[in-house]
Amino acid sequence: MRPHRISRAEARRVAVRAQLLDANRSSDLLPTVEQLTFLQLDPTAAVAPSADLVAWCRLGAGYRPAHLQQAVERDRTLYEHNAYVRPMTDLGLHLADMAAWPPEGSRALAWLTANDSFRRYVLDLLRDSGPLLSREVPDRSVVPWPSTGWTNNRNVTQMLEFLAARGEVAIAGRIGRQRRWDLAERVYPADTEVVPADEARRIRDERRLRSLGIARASVVGEAGEPAEVEGTPGGWRVDPAALDQPFAGRTALLSPFDRLVHDRKRLWELFDFEYVLEMYVPKAKRRWGYFALPVLHHDRMVGKVDATADRKAGVLRVHAVHEDVPFDGEVSAAVDAELEALATWLGLTTVTRAGRVVDVG
């Protein structure tokens, strides 16, 4: 098949539409997550937790974090696994990989084997008393988990994480940031069909490409059709259904973990946009801020907003707006409107920017 020849502008619009960031906003959480394939969980909440910020960017003011919690804990239309929230209908695409984990010869398998009595104890305890927080599970490990990082000797957490990776336990919900663990059979639907591993990987690649619109073959395998994007190296795959579609853009403030900006190489090649999450960079060396929000305007990435939600003071503090390209009046007004919308959604009454206070109450 001859590759599609695509301009960078068209490639950008394909990517923006696929990520539900064009003017046609989504209206419901579940179809949104189904299109995106997942929401990534991260505890950083300088502005808002990333999963909530990503959902707000798509759904707008009608979205509430309680909607995500309800979908996971009560409706069971979404499930949490390995720091991602995914549609429950996609569970079968991951069960074969869970059943094959951990791989032969791995450190994880050796540790689980040495602690088989601990594993069986945890499963029995959850069966009798679950769901439980990790602190409610006694540490009966025979061999401690060795690590040079924060997981060293955190044996209960490691066992629960490993059992979840194997599909034996699952996250039933949360109390604040703390996960509540239970037997997977009480969280996952009993009638979930296990899709064979090879077929599941092919379907996941197709779903991933549909959510991205255009991506490298290294990310989506053989999904979609080959494409060439002007001015970039080859190796692209594109969702053919996403080509030649009308486009209407909008302005959006994105989470640093948003999938439109997550692949920094793709971001540079398609959008000419450089971005680094600087929360781990020493303050004196930061260029854009601790949790700077990339700014999308129609099909271009135009800047970053360094902002912090000061919930105690009831203020969204905008420390700086970095313009990658000079903002004209339209872009400035659109960014201000998004900041005010963000403050309102967060329940904050004002936006402070460059010494100016904007009342959004």
The pLDDT tens digits for 132-177 are: 999 999 999 999 998 888 888 899 999 999 999 999 999 999 999 9
What does the alpha-carbon distance between residue 123 and residue 129 come to, in Å, rounded to a whole number? 10
- What is the dihedral sign for C-alpha 133, 135, 138, 142? positive
Tens of pLDDT, residues 34-55: 999 999 999 888 999 999 999 9
Structure tokens at 207: 């779903």
* pLDDT value at residue 151: 85
pLDDT at 349: 86
- The percentage of residues in the chain with a pLDDT greater than 70, rounded to a whole number, is 98
Give the separation between CA 228 and CA 238, rounded to whole angstroms.
Answer: 9
pLDDT reading at 19 higher than 70: yes
Q: How far apart are CA 87 and CA 295, in angstroms?
A: 27
Q: Is the pLDDT of residue 359 over 90?
A: no
Is the per-residue pLDDT at 345 higher than 70?
yes
What confidence score (pLDDT) does residue 354 get? 59
* pLDDT value of position 97: 98
Residues of the chain by 3-state class (helix, strand, coil), percent to 5: 40, 20, 40
Q: Does the fold of domain 251-359 match that of domain 93-186?
A: no
**Alpha carbon distance 104, 101 (integer Å):** 8
Task: Compute and round to an integer the Cα radius of gyration of the chain.
Answer: 22
Edge-first strand listing for the sheet containing 214-216: 4-6, 225-229, 236-238, 214-216
Q: What is the mean pLDDT of the chain?
A: 95
Answer with the residue of higher pLDDT: 234 or 253: 253
The per-residue pLDDT for range 64-120, each reduced to its tens digit, is: 999 999 999 999 999 999 999 999 999 999 999 999 999 999 999 999 999 999 999
Contacts of 206 by beta carbon, 8 Å cutoff, 6+ apart: 220, 223, 224
CA distance 63 to 40: 17
Measured in degrees and rounded to the nearest 5, phi and psi for residue 130 equal -70, 165
Average the pLDDT over 313-323 and give the result: 94
Q: What are phi and psi of 229, to 5 degrees?
A: -110, 125
**Number of helices (H), then strands (E), in the chain:** 13, 16
- Please, what's the b/e burial string for 55-70 (b: 16 or more CB within 10 A of its CB; e: otherwise)? bbbbbeeebeeebbeb
> What's the whole-number mean pLDDT along residues 267-295?
96
The pTM is what? 0.94
171 contacts 83 by C-beta, under 8 angstroms: no
pLDDT score, position 360: 55
Write down the domain spans for the chain.
Answer: 93-186, 251-359
CB of 355 within 8 A of CB of 318?
no
Structurally, what CATH architecture does the domain formed by 251-359 represent? 3-Layer(aba) Sandwich (3.40)
| The token pair that represents 131 in the structure block | 């769901």
Could you give the angle at the alpha carbon of 337 between the alpha carbons of 335 and 339, nearest 5°? 70
What's the CA dihedral at 236, 58, 311, 294 to 10 degrees? 30
Residue whose token pair is 């900006």: 261
Spatial distance between the Cα atoms of 151 and 317, rounded to a whole number of angstroms: 35
Which class in CATH covers the domain with range 93-186? mainly alpha
